[in-house]
Amino acid sequence: MTTLFINILAFGTLLSSIFSITSKNPVISVIFLISTFVQAALYLIFIGINFVGISYIVIYVGAIAVLFLFVIMMINIKLTDILETGNQYTKNLPLAIAIGSLFIFIIFTIVPFNFNNVPALSVLLDKITYFNSILSNSNIVSINLINSIVNNYFLSSISDVIITEFQQIEVLGHGLYTYGAVLLITLSVILLLAMFATIIISRNNKNIKT
Partner 1 sequence: MNLSLFLFLIGILGFILNRKNIILMIIAIEIMLLAVTLLVLISSIGFDDNGGQTFSIYIISIAGAESVIGLSILVAYYRLRGTISLRT
Q: Which of residues 23-62 bind partner 1 (CB under 8 A)?
A: 26, 29-30, 33, 36-37, 40, 43-44, 47-49, 51-52, 55-56, 59-60
Distance CA 43, CA 10 (A): 7
Nearer to partner 1, 88 or 142 (CB): 88
Other Cβ atoms closer than 10 A to 34: 19
Radius of gyration of the chain from its Cα atoms, rounded to whole angstroms: 23
Which segment (126-134, 137-145, 154-162, 165-173) binds partner 1 by CB under 8 A?
Answer: 165-173
Nearer to partner 1, 2 or 55 (CB): 55
202 is an interface residue for partner 1 by CB under 8 A: yes
Compute the least distance from the CB of residue 32 to partner 1, in Å. Answer: 9
> How many residues touch partner 1 (CB under 8 A)?
78
Nearer to partner 1, 157 or 205 (CB): 205
Dihedral in degrees, nearest 10, Cα atoms 41, 45, 46, 49: 120
50 within 8 A of 158, measured Cβ to Cβ: no
Identify the CA nearest to 146 among candidates 158, 162, 130.
130
Compute the least distance from the CB of residue 131 to partner 1, in Å. Answer: 26
15 within 8 A of 43, measured Cβ to Cβ: no
User: Which residue of 5, 103, 130, 131 would you call a contact of partner 1, by CB under 8 A?
Assistant: 103
Distance CA 93, CA 103 (A): 15
Q: Which of residues 5-24 bind partner 1 (CB under 8 A)?
A: 10, 13-14, 17-18, 20-22
User: Which residue of 113, 120, 124, 127 would you call a contact of partner 1, by CB under 8 A?
Assistant: 113
User: Which residue of 72, 146, 155, 162 would you call a contact of partner 1, by CB under 8 A?
Assistant: 72
User: Which residue of 132, 156, 159, 198 would you call a contact of partner 1, by CB under 8 A?
Assistant: 198
Nearer to partner 1, 17 or 133 (CB): 17
Distance CA 66, CA 70 (A): 6
Identify the CA nearest to 148 among candidates 127, 163, 162, 131.
127
46 within 8 A of 2, measured Cβ to Cβ: yes
User: Which residue of 8, 54, 61, 117 would you call a contact of partner 1, by CB under 8 A?
Assistant: 117
Distance CA 67, CA 7 (A): 30
